[in-house]
Structure 1
Amino acid sequence: MEFSKIIAVTGKPGLFEILSQTKSGVIVKSLKEDKRFPINATQNISLLENIAIYTLEEEVPLGQIFKIISDKEEGKQCISHKESGNKLTSYFAEILPEYDDERVYTSNIKKVLQWYNILVDAKFDFSSIEVESVEEETEETNS
């Protein structure tokens, strides 16, 4: 399972892996239920690799946050997304101390932690996530 093929679909709970492309959309497999079904082009999908979290300085890619959580939890599940808002924000502050608490809402934190736990249940290898550092991107644009 590649991180670049994992998506979230608006209106559908959980995460999905893209299996193949069709004329009118994509065929996906649910990571929770292992069911396959089509997603048409009119539905909103988000590739997890394109999602980032605001910090006071920059945006941190979701894959990098998953790696930090995985290292902290040693590849096991993190706290439940159903915990209280205070617990969620203090846990997230441990993971990403510089996150922008004015632009990152508790609902965003819930999604990140829920998605991480779904990936753990699906036996995802977080070490396979390749994340370009912001410094490398800055050097490339300055050249």
Structure 2
Amino acid sequence: MKISDILAIAGKPGLYKVIASSNKNLVVESMVDGKRSSVPGSVRVSNLSDITMYTFKEDVPLRDILNNLHKKAKGHEAPAHNSSSSQEIKDFVDSAVSDLDHDRIYNSDLKKLVQWYNILLTKDAFPLEDDAEIAEEKTEKPAKEKSDE
């Protein structure tokens, strides 16, 4: 699934998929319950491809962190964001991304990350890809087919 099609909307729980857009609003579909809604342009909307997390070396794109969590969990669910302890969630995330800067990342950020991971897992969204990877795959496929002939 393309990570650039997935949004987080301020004040609304969960993740949303872009259905249509115009100058003044977006039409989105909740990835949790499938309900569609209109989001005005005045609401703060974050594209998951634009989000990074702090590490001691450099900021890591959220796509890489989510894909690492998926590999580490071997396709299984992460600890539940609303019933697991903060330490359990922190240990789970640290097992996939070892050098997170916990002085700048709050427990609420980690809970949201785990919630998003579980939502994407239920939608079979892994592996997450960005637009550059998808464009690269499209250009490689015709070249491989021609070389086989």
TM-score range for the pair, normalised by the shorter chain length: 0.7 to 0.9
2:107 equivalent in structure 1: 106
> For the residues of structure 1 that align with 2:56 and 2:25, how far apart are their CA atoms?
37
1:30 equivalent in structure 2: 30
Instruction: Give TM-score, length-normalised by structure 2.
Output: 0.82
Aligned length: 131
> For the residues of structure 2 that align with 1:129 and 1:70, how far apart are their CA atoms?
13
1:7 equivalent in structure 2: 7
How far off is 1:64 after superposition? 0.2
Instruction: Give TM-score, length-normalised by structure 1.
Output: 0.85
Greater shift, 33-42 or 75-84, is seen at 75-84
2:117 equivalent in structure 1: 116
Structure 1 runs not aligned, ≥5 long: 133-143
Give the 5 Å matches for 1:1-143.
1-82=1-82, 83-124=84-125, 126-130=126-130
Alignment check: 8 A CA contact 1:61 1:131 kept: no
How far off is 1:42 after superposition? 0.7
Residue 94 of structure 1: SS of its match in structure 2? helix
Residue 27 of structure 2: SS of its match in structure 1? strand
Alignment check: 8 A CA contact 1:64 1:131 kept: no
Structure 2 runs not aligned, ≥5 long: 133-149
Q: Which amino acid aligns with 1:56?
A: F
How far off is 1:72 after superposition? 1.2
> Residues 16-67 of structure 1, C-alpha deviation per residue, up to 9 Å, x if partnerless?
0011112311110110111111111011110011111100010010000111
What RMSD in Å do the two structures reach over aligned CA positions?
Answer: 1.6
Alignment check: 8 A CA contact 1:50 1:61 kept: yes
> For the residues of structure 2 that align with 1:48 and 1:24, how far apart are their CA atoms?
21
> Residues 91-133 of structure 1, C-alpha deviation per residue, up to 9 Å, x if partnerless?
2211111000100111110011000101111221x2242498x
Greater shift, 96-105 or 85-94, is seen at 85-94
How far off is 1:88 after superposition? 1.5
> For the residues of structure 2 that align with 1:19 and 1:111, how far apart are their CA atoms?
23
Alignment check: 8 A CA contact 2:49 2:130 kept: no
Q: Which amino acid aligns with 1:11?
A: G
Alignment check: 8 A CA contact 1:69 1:95 kept: yes
Larger radius of gyration between Structure 1 and Structure 2? 2
